A and B are shown apart, each in its own frame.
Chain A
Amino acid sequence: MMTIRTEREGVNVSQYVMIQSKSPWESGDVGHFYALARELRQLGAEVTFFLVQNGVMAARSSAKDPALEQLLGANVRVLADDFSLRERAIDAKVLKTGVNPSSIDVVVDLLASGAKALWH
């Protein structure tokens, strides 16, 4: 399996799906993963950042996670797993602006289309 790149305006573009399973309060490393997403975007890649399991804890609008706020301003698509949100009673109405609830099917779609996948 070689890297599949999509064409966008005549330029080959890498696709990434980055899956964040930990909350920034359970792992001190989450900020680095957010930063990596921004850096891959800066390289020109299309990046989907998928929050799952405790990773969705940072998605509440009232959660204090400056690193996630920075990611949200970086032209990266940020999604939150709908099951993980429901499991933690986080309603879609209280998500940070820029975080959208999503089915896990999106991850499968991205894998099926050749996106490089990183799990944290």
Chain B
Amino acid sequence: MARYLSIVDSAYRATIEEQDDTAVWFTHAMKNAGADVSILLRGDAVNYAVSNQDAKGLRFGNRAVKGPDMVRDINAVIAKKIPLFVVSDDVAERGIPASLLLPGIEQIPRSAIAKLIDNHDTILTW
């Protein structure tokens, strides 16, 4: 069985669709089906690792939109024991304090991405 690494760098693009990030959701669904998966958040997607994200309150006419809950979904990924990595250089460049990151996420420097990729059999570049 191959080891998959989902690399997510586009953020808040399609979080309306599954009321989640579509790449995170898909990878979680692969895990549910039995796949061996990991997730790397890089670029703006490192912001998914931040606590207190709140996308509630959208309403169009009398139709409320439940919206995504990325904190719930990232915590669910961690609870499912899907290894979740975030690029520390990208976190720092965006001025995100380490204290705001959700627990259970492993920070890796940008220089370690090549090795992480090399340690997986199939790369999914979202």
Contacts and interface: CB of A to CB of B under 8 A. Distances in A.
The secondary structure that dominates the A interface is: mixed
Contacts, number: 37
B123 A117 contact: yes
B99 interface: no
Q: How large is the interface on A (under 10, 10 to 19, 20 to 34, 35 or more residues)?
A: 10 to 19
Q: How large is the interface on B (under 10, 10 to 19, 20 to 34, 35 or more residues)?
A: 10 to 19
Nearest to A45: B118
A62 interface: no
Interface stretch (A36-44, A76-84, A87-95): A36-44
Interface in A72-120: 116-120
Interface in B61-107: none
A11 interface: no
A1 B2 contact: yes
Interface string A18-36: 0000000000010010001
Contacts of A1: 2, 121-122
B11 interface: no
A15 B97 CA distance: 37
Interface of B: 2, 7, 9, 43, 110-111, 113-115, 117-118, 121-123, 125
Interface of A: 1-3, 14, 29, 32, 36, 39-40, 42-43, 45, 116-120
